[in-house]
Structure formats: structure tokens, C-alpha cells
Structure 1
Amino acid sequence: MKRAQSAILAATCATLTMVLAMFVGRFTLGTPLIPELIAQQIFALVPLWLFTPIIRLLGFWAKWLAFALAIVGYMAGGIALGWGYAGWRARSQRVPSIAMACLFGMAIWFAVMTVGLPLLGVGFFGVRLRGGVWAGSGGLLALHLLYGVLLGWLAPVAMAADRAQQPSQAASFRLGRRALLRSFVGLPMLGLVTAAAAQLCLTVAARLASASGLMFEAVKGLASEITPTAKFYTISIAMFDPSVNPRTWRLKIHGLVEKPLSLTLDDLKAMPAYEAYVTFLCISNEIGGRLIGNALWTGVALQDLLAMAGVKEGARKVVFRADDGYSTGVPLERCLRPQTFLAYAMNGDALPREHGFPLRAVIPGYYGMKQPKWLTEIEVVDHDYLGYWEERGWADEAVVKTMSRIDVPPHRGRVPLTGEVIAGVAFAGDRRIASVEYSIDGGQTWREAQMKPALSPYTWVLWGANLDLPHEGEYVLAVRATDGQGHKQDARVAEPLPDGASGYHKLRIKTTHA
């Protein structure tokens, strides 16, 4: 086996093992996962003009594609560095040294801490890492030492494999390809591969969703009035959702308050509960999109917590911070409304991890970006504050625009002249829906649809009507809604960026032959 091939195999073994150990550490000890930080930074730096078409083309897979590319790039860098080291040791004809390889690993670690992490947005030596400087830097140091140890162990094998082709070399180094592979397969770290892969698959599988179910219950294909928790859409900035320990978790309320608070989950559950059906809509939802869901949320009124803390004069905004590093600012006035609350339960069960366990904000009337999950901190401030998405060009106000959607019949579906139903959902944040109209001629004329009464002032409504068509042919269906303030849905077509999509949802159908 050629020297270069031996060196590449040794470097690949060391890099792969380090990355696998990094995955396991991420889900067990909270060790930073460098590819995850790279993927998050890629998304943070994507130009606004490019963001929407990427999401439209790839959907949720855009984030996972960035993550996959980050893993490939990170491993390529580790393999290249390890290859250079192993090749240098092989060419030097010196006795291999694990100590020297450990120093090499520490040098890479130092470069990552002083150059890599600042470029990834978590600061010098990872000062902004969620687990803190010592936990993050210590975990990464251990991983890079592991990388060095493996290089120091496997690089001699690569040397020996090269020397094995020369009869005059010492027999102690004649291990060859099989010995190298046996050494790697024997690594204890490989026993952890199954656990890491299983955790990753569970995380991805938890994000899969679809909708079914209503005259509303009899209409096949219409969204369920209450979205099942497992089918409720999820959006987050992190590659993997935080795993929060409820025993050590605290909600801190501070800033311009008379009495800073630090509350446990049990403290919050001991307070009078507030419960409401509230619909969530993602600001990046396209016209006719599915990033919307309705659920029953249970928690505690935010105005009660702010009253306990005692808000000082001059306060303007309330800043919410989350365990995954996300943050956003909301006007104080909105936070003092009785319908704004912090939820610890969803659809009658404890808040699931993917929806923000142990606590998330529920602020009717706003898009989902203003209702963060995994809350850890609430700060009252006297100045404006732009959070994660606002700094990247999304609207700070983020008030829900009136929207409506056709669920049935499907686009380009074939329907009979009579006996078919047209149905869907409509939503206007906290302004209610007053009426829904549909059209069979692309919006030239309109007909009133029937609505099912909303579950609360803050939810969508289900709407429907019998679809009777005058003659055979092709039709363009459209829908529009009017909110409780008398304002009709905006007909102008606009992209989601920066303040949410607008325009009528339209689709084409054809009649079936009699």
C-alpha cells in the first residue's frame, strides 16, 4: 500500500472517530458540535434575497443540507490536516510519537478556539456557547486530544504499511492494511456510533408532518380544527432541539423591574393557569402554505409575572431569550395584555421538546418568530431591541396578515359538476375572521362560504361550501377573507420576506366527464 493511501486512511479513521464522539458528546454532555455551528452560521449569513428561493426550493431540507455540507467540509479539513501529519511522520522515518500527535491536536484546538469559534459567532474560546466557556472548551480539547492520540497511534501503522513493502525494514512495523483496519475497528468509540445515529434519526423523524380530517369533519383533506401535536409544524434556528433539564431550569425575569425573579417550572404551575386555543403561523409561510397550526395551550399569564417583578417606569420592550440562543423583542404593551402568556402544556399534555419544553411564549396576533420556545430569560428594557430574525431583515412588528387557504379540492384535481365541496382555513391573528368568500373564475366574482365558529378569538376558522359548477371545463378557484375589523385580505402578491406573504390562494381544477 502506498504511503499516501496509508496516511489518508489513518487520517480518515482519526477524523471520523472524533466526529462521531462529538455527536455523542452533543447529545449526552452538551459538547459543542462544530458542524452544527457551521450550518447555523451559513444560514445566518445567507443574503436576504437568496433566503426565500432557497426555502421555497428545499423547504425544511435546506437546513439539513447545510448541516450535511458542514459535516463533509469539517471532516475534509480534519482528514487533510491528519493526512499532512501522518505523511510527515512517514517521510521523517522517525519513531512515531503519540505525544507529538497530541501536541498537534492541541494546536488545532487552539486555532479552533481563537479563530474558528469567533468566525462561527460564539466568541473567543466560545464565550457565548450555551454550556459556558469551560464546558465547551474543555469538551473540544478532549475531542482534539482524542484526534491526536488516534493519529499518534495510527500514523505508525501507516508508516509500517509503507515499510512492509521493503524487506529491509523492521518487522515490528509490518502491519499492512488489515492491521490498520483491525486497529480502527477495535476502537472503543465505535461502540457509540449506533446511539448517535439513532438519536439523529429520531430528531429528523420528529419533524415530519401532514394534515387530515372536518362539515366539517366529513371533508377529506381539510385541516383538523385542532392540529395534532405530532403534526404541528416546527421551525428553529438550531440543528438539534435543546434538551432542557426541568430540575435545574429556571426562568429569570430581570432588567427594569423592582424585584428580579428566578422561577422554577413548579413555581409557574402553582400559579393560576391560563388556557386558550391559539393558532401559530410562520412568517415564512408561502401563499397556500402549511406552516400553520392550531392547538390548546396552557400556562401562566405574562402580565401576572411582570406584576410580581414590578415593571419600572420608562420600560419599552420585553426581550425574550431562549436556550438555543434565539432572542426577540416585544413591545411592553403587548406583553401586558391578558391573552399573552407563557405555555408549559400543549393539547393537554406537557409541552413537547420540539415545541419548547419546558416553556414557550404565546402572543396572539404575532407570527411565530415572536413567540420563542425553550425560554430561559425575560428582560425588561428601555430601548429598542432587534432579535435573531429581525437583525437579518425580517419585520420587527411581525403582525399576522389576514390569510386564507384552499385545502380541497386539490390543485389540478378533477371534480364533478355537482356534489363536490370547496373548503379550507382562514386566519387573521387576534382580529378574528368575519367572513370568507370563494371564487370559481379566478376572482372576478365572489360567493359567500360557510364558516365553522372559531374555537377562540385567536384561532383560524374552517370554511366550506358546496361547489356547483355551471358547465364542464377548467376553473380557477380562489379564496379571500375579511377580518373582524372589516379589512379584506390583501390581494397584492408579496413574498414572505420581510413581513409575511400576501395574496389570494388560487388553484386550477377540471371537471370530469359525465
Structure 2
Amino acid sequence: MHLRPRRGEGWFEGGCAAGVALLSLVVARIAFDGPSPSEVVADALIGIVPGALFSLILGQLEFAAKPLLHVGIGIGAIGVGAIVGRMYVACEASLVRLIGTIAVLIAVLWLAVLPMLGAGLLGLTRPASPPLWFSTGFGAVVLVVLVHSLTQRRADVRPDVVAPGRRRLVLTIGAVASMVASWLLWRTLGQSQSASPVLGAATAADGDGHPTPEYTPVGVFYNVSKNMLDPRVDEDGWRLRIIGDVENEYELTFAELKALPSVEQPATLCCISNEVGGDLVGHAQWKGVRLRDLLERGGVKPDSIDVVFHCRDEYRDSIALADALRPETIVVYEMNGAPLTHKHGFPIRVIVPGIYGMKNAKWVDRIQVVDNDFKGFWQVQGWSDTAGHQTMSRIDRPHAPRDRAQPGPRPIHGIAFGGDRGIARVEVSVDGGGTWFDAALRPAAGPFSWVRWSASFTPEVDERRTLMVRATDGSGRPQIDRYATPFPNGSTGYHSIAVTFENG
């Protein structure tokens, strides 16, 4: 005998079942080298969000944005589970019903949802381990089986009469699983991105009187990616393939790549989403092979336009062939004298001086020459395709809102960066832009490096001042004074801080 479900019945059971299914997929994602279904959803959502809105959200939430996105996707999955639970209890429970529900749900996921998310039928166009067809199918089976277990009835007796203690226990397990899954997502995602420490932190100093080190330590070098978990590539099985519009396609092992003639150069890397005065910028010594040498070995065809980087995490971006052939564009495998870490792109990444970090691709395993203007992951959202670096400058010390020191001159320190144009001049104002004076520049480590600058002035006791900085690049072009958000070409405007100078 089938009983009509009571009001609200099935929602909670379905949600708890979805929580357990989600937890199983999170554990599988941590154990294997994805992407997971939730990452496919996240990539699709990012792709349809207007770039200006994305930049606004990122500016407000900063490093909480990615964890919140995936936690939101998890909550959405629990909502879908609740709907499945409600629909399931509306029909008589049976083995046929169980198998039929699983089959329908899997068919919808494989034949409709995954293709709509850009992963193709069964998710076959999106390589993953385990395959997306398996992970989505497994999640569907776990969901429906748990819903069936939680909502089944005995003849004409209500489930709250039969073994209520067992039922409450299973529901509690489901709720706990949902919370554990959310916590794992938040913890894992929070660790997968990092920024530099507090600007001008004394612990990062080189001991030369400037609070910002010339070379950013790898452990605090900013890291931004689109992934729930970044790839961990095994160098033994990794190959770099040179493909596309070339005369001879070929591939290299990691050992073969490192055996090629290498170059070392210092270069600054900055994220295009860095706000005015932000810390998504760092400077390192890079070692690798000129991209030009790799392309010339394959023989670039004369109709070629772009060079596309294909990455292990399915990220893709491109640079113009002219930029790829510049001698300073290198495929790197060392950073600050040590092998690249996993979060910075091991085994290789690309460094293209003068171009924002989104095109300095990580975890590259294919380099493709194409005869068209290829639009990458962020370009389809509206971000700059050329991605040339805006001239920027930043005050690293003093810190707002108060600076306490002994009476006398107060030092002001910071950095300035002009992409591949260098920095010719830095000026500082201590009266909100009313007057300006030159800062002293320390020699740059190289033509693609930031410049560290210093200045000083003597304030009155307990005087509040608005400090500002501006720079002129090596070509003589002044920094843009008009404030603009990072989207679509990178932020512009003068960095300023209000500081009260106290004696102490």
C-alpha cells in the first residue's frame, strides 16, 4: 500500500542524501586529479558571468570568492537532492522505481547537464580522473540509494513510527556529511590560493632598509587559479607537446626539456585583477628554455597568428606569435633557484614579461600554434586579450592608519612596475597630491623587474597626512591618474593612504 506523502516529507531526506553524495565526491576529488563535477559547474558559471560583475565580486570578496562559489554549488546540489527526495516519496517505493530513478537521473546528467556545461556527452571532452561520466554517475547512485533507504515504508505504516531512532541517526549522518563536505571545500579552497603577507612586513625584508624584498619568497608569492584543487603533475608521465601550425609536431620529456640550453632572468608577475595598492604582485628569478627555441624546432608556418597554452587543469590562454618569439619569453621550470612548486605550475609554466599573469600559464602540457586570434578562458568573459601591463606604484610603508616612531624624518617605501617598459621616475606626495617630490630608486634587478623606491619627510606631532605615489615608465609615459577597476585592462589610479604620524 502506498501512502500519500505528508507535507514537507522527502525534502530533508533528499537534502541529507545529497550531502553524503557530495562528501563522497569531495573525498574522491582530494584523492584523484580531477576536475570534479562541481569544478565543471564553476567554470561554466564563471564563463557566463559578465566580466565587470565578476571583477566587482572578486574585488569585494577577494580570496573568499572561490570557496564561496564552490560552497554555493554544494548548497545547490543539496537543493537538487531535496527535490529528488520529494519527487521520490510521491511514488510507491520499489526496486523497479529505484533502478528507474537512477537511470533517469544518470541519463539527464550525461546527456543534458554535462553537455550544457561544455563537457560534451558523458563529459568526454573534459579529461578527468576519475572520468566525469563515472563521478556524476556514482554521485547519482549514492543520492538515489540513500533517498530510497531514508524514505522507504513498510506496508501502510509511517516511517516515523517504524524505527524512529534509526531514521534520526541516518538523517543526522546526512546532515553531518553536508557540513563536513562544506568544511572540506572551504578548507581546501582556502589553502589553494594565497597572497603575499602584509605589505612591507618586516619579516620579508632583505636587511637593506627596505621593507619589501627584492625577490619575493616562493612561500608568499601570490597564487591565483580557477581550480578547486590545483593539479599535482607527475614529472615521469608528463610530456610537453608542440603541436598545431608547425612543420613538425614533437614532444619532450621533462628531462629532455631541462637538457636544452637554458636562460635565467628576473621578472615581476602581476595579476590583472590586482586592485590599486593590492598585493597580487611578486618578483622572482626564473630559469627555463626560450619559447622561441621550442617553436623554431617545430618550424612555425608563415600563416600563424597566436600561440596557445593548454594546461593540465583545462585552462587555456594565448599570446601573439610576436610575443612568443621574443627572447625574454621563457618556459620555466625553476623559481628563485628551486624547482617550481605545484601551486606555481610544476613542472613548467610560461613567463611572458610585460603581460599580466593570466597569460603566464601554469601546468602547461601542450603548446599549440594557430592561424587565428584565439580567445582564452578569461578573454571570452571580456578581459583584455593583449593584457599589456599598466604602470603601477604602491606604498608599502608606513601602514595606515597610524605610524609611531621617534621624532624626526619618517621613511616612506614602496614599489613601482611598468611591465616591460621599466620605471624612470617615482614621485611622492604627502599632502594629498598638492605637491610632489622625487623618490630615490634602487637599481632594478632586470629590465622586467619592479623598482623599489624610498623617500622621507618630517611630519608634525600627531599630524594626519594623505600620502600618494605615482610613477613614470621607461618610455616617459606617466602613470594613469584616473581610477579604474581591474576589468577589463587592469586597474589604474594613484595609490594613497591616510596616516596619522605619532611620536613614540
TM-score with structure 1 length normalisation?
0.87
Q: Provide the rounded CA distance (Å) in 1 between the counterparts of 2:253 and 2:182.
A: 31
Q: Which runs of 5+ in 1 are unaligned?
A: 90-95, 166-173
1:207 is the counterpart of 2:207: no
Q: Could you tell me how far 1:118 is from its partner in structure 2? A: 2.5
Structure 1 equivalent of residue 27 of structure 2: 24
- Given that 1:319 and 1:329 are in contact with CA atoms closer than 8 Å, whether structure 2 keeps it comes out as yes
- Choose from 318, 325, 329 the match for 2:314: 325
Structure 1 equivalent of residue 143 of structure 2: 147
Q: Could you tell me how far 1:231 is from its partner in structure 2? A: 1.1
Structure 2 equivalent of residue 364 of structure 1: 353
Identity of aligned residues (%): 34
Distance 1:195 1:386, change over 3 A: closer
- Choose from 99, 106, 117 the match for 1:109: 106
Q: Aligned to 1:60, what secondary structure does the other structure show?
A: helix
1:413 is the counterpart of 2:413: no
Q: Provide the rounded CA distance (Å) in 2 between the counterparts of 1:339 and 1:223.
A: 25
State which drifts further: 292-301 or 344-353: 344-353
- Choose from 159, 167, 172 the match for 1:180: 167
1:256 is the counterpart of 2:250: no
- Given that 2:287 and 2:334 are in contact with CA atoms closer than 8 Å, whether structure 1 keeps it comes out as yes
TM-score with structure 2 length normalisation?
0.89
Q: Provide the rounded CA distance (Å) in 1 between the counterparts of 2:483 and 2:178.
A: 51
State which drifts further: 366-375 or 122-131: 122-131
State which drifts further: 117-126 or 455-464: 117-126
Q: Could you tell me how far 1:193 is from its partner in structure 2? A: 10
RMSD: 3.0
- Given that 1:39 and 1:63 are in contact with CA atoms closer than 8 Å, whether structure 2 keeps it comes out as no
Q: Give the letter for the 1:148 counterpart.
A: V
Q: Which has the higher contact order (CA 8 A, sep 6+)?
A: 2
Q: Aligned to 1:510, what secondary structure does the other structure show?
A: strand
Q: Aligned to 1:88, what secondary structure does the other structure show?
A: coil
Distance 1:268 1:413, change over 3 A: same
Q: Aligned to 1:512, what secondary structure does the other structure show?
A: strand
Q: Provide the rounded CA distance (Å) in 2 between the counterparts of 1:420 and 1:42.
A: 48
- Given that 2:188 and 2:229 are in contact with CA atoms closer than 8 Å, whether structure 1 keeps it comes out as no
Q: Could you tell me how far 1:242 is from its partner in structure 2? A: 2.1
Q: Could you tell me how far 1:226 is from its partner in structure 2? A: 1.4
- Choose from 488, 491, 498 the match for 2:481: 491
Distance 1:384 1:79, change over 3 A: same
Q: Provide the rounded CA distance (Å) in 2 between the counterparts of 1:490 and 1:114.
A: 50
Distance 1:280 1:161, change over 3 A: farther
Structure 2 equivalent of residue 121 of structure 1: 118
The CA deviation string for residues 14-51 of structure 1, in whole angstroms up to 9 with x for no partner, is: 32221111112223344653333323322222223322
Q: Provide the rounded CA distance (Å) in 1 between the counterparts of 2:485 and 2:208.
A: 33
Structure 2 equivalent of residue 76 of structure 1: 79
Structure 2 equivalent of residue 170 of structure 1: none
Structure 2 equivalent of residue 394 of structure 1: 383
Q: Could you tell me how far 1:4 is from its partner in structure 2? A: 6.0
Q: Could you tell me how far 1:192 is from its partner in structure 2? A: 13
- Given that 1:433 and 1:483 are in contact with CA atoms closer than 8 Å, whether structure 2 keeps it comes out as yes
Q: Provide the rounded CA distance (Å) in 2 between the counterparts of 1:434 and 1:163.
A: 77
Q: Provide the rounded CA distance (Å) in 1 between the counterparts of 2:401 and 2:194.
A: 25
Q: Provide the rounded CA distance (Å) in 2 between the counterparts of 1:224 and 1:158.
A: 71
- Given that 1:429 and 1:458 are in contact with CA atoms closer than 8 Å, whether structure 2 keeps it comes out as yes
Q: Provide the rounded CA distance (Å) in 2 between the counterparts of 1:349 and 1:185.
A: 48
Q: Give the letter for the 1:453 counterpart.
A: P
Structure 2 equivalent of residue 55 of structure 1: 58
Q: Provide the rounded CA distance (Å) in 2 between the counterparts of 1:493 and 1:207.
A: 26
Q: Give the letter for the 1:201 counterpart.
A: R
Q: Aligned to 1:113, what secondary structure does the other structure show?
A: helix
Structure 1 equivalent of residue 393 of structure 2: 404
The CA deviation string for residues 177-231 of structure 1, in whole angstroms up to 9 with x for no partner, is: 22235567899xx9999899668635523534414237973658x3222112121
Q: Could you tell me how far 1:335 is from its partner in structure 2? A: 0.9
State which drifts further: 56-65 or 68-77: 56-65
Q: Could you tell me how far 1:282 is from its partner in structure 2? A: 0.8
Q: Provide the rounded CA distance (Å) in 1 between the counterparts of 2:439 and 2:154.
A: 74
Q: Could you tell me how far 1:364 is from its partner in structure 2? A: 0.6
State which drifts further: 471-480 or 440-449: 471-480
The CA deviation string for residues 428-466 of structure 1, in whole angstroms up to 9 with x for no partner, is: 112222222211122232222122222221111211122
- Given that 2:205 and 2:213 are in contact with CA atoms closer than 8 Å, whether structure 1 keeps it comes out as no
The CA deviation string for residues 300-348 of structure 1, in whole angstroms up to 9 with x for no partner, is: 1111111211112122211112122222221111111111111122222
Structure 2 equivalent of residue 445 of structure 1: 435
Structure 1 equivalent of residue 152 of structure 2: 156
Structure 1 equivalent of residue 296 of structure 2: 307
Q: Provide the rounded CA distance (Å) in 2 between the counterparts of 1:511 and 1:164.
A: 68
Distance 1:159 1:54, change over 3 A: farther
- Given that 2:206 and 2:212 are in contact with CA atoms closer than 8 Å, whether structure 1 keeps it comes out as no
- Given that 1:35 and 1:74 are in contact with CA atoms closer than 8 Å, whether structure 2 keeps it comes out as no
- Choose from 119, 122, 131 the match for 1:135: 131
Q: Aligned to 2:296, what secondary structure does the other structure show?
A: helix
Q: Provide the rounded CA distance (Å) in 2 between the counterparts of 1:309 and 1:375.
A: 17
State which drifts further: 16-25 or 280-289: 16-25
Q: Aligned to 1:365, what secondary structure does the other structure show?
A: coil
Q: Provide the rounded CA distance (Å) in 2 between the counterparts of 1:377 and 1:238.
A: 19
Q: Aligned to 2:309, what secondary structure does the other structure show?
A: strand
Structure 2 equivalent of residue 171 of structure 1: none
Q: Aligned to 1:61, what secondary structure does the other structure show?
A: helix
Q: Could you tell me how far 1:425 is from its partner in structure 2? A: 0.6
- Given that 2:23 and 2:177 are in contact with CA atoms closer than 8 Å, whether structure 1 keeps it comes out as no
Structure 2 equivalent of residue 502 of structure 1: 492
Distance 1:441 1:161, change over 3 A: farther
Structure 2 equivalent of residue 377 of structure 1: 366
Distance 1:257 1:163, change over 3 A: closer
Distance 1:444 1:108, change over 3 A: same
1:463 is the counterpart of 2:453: yes
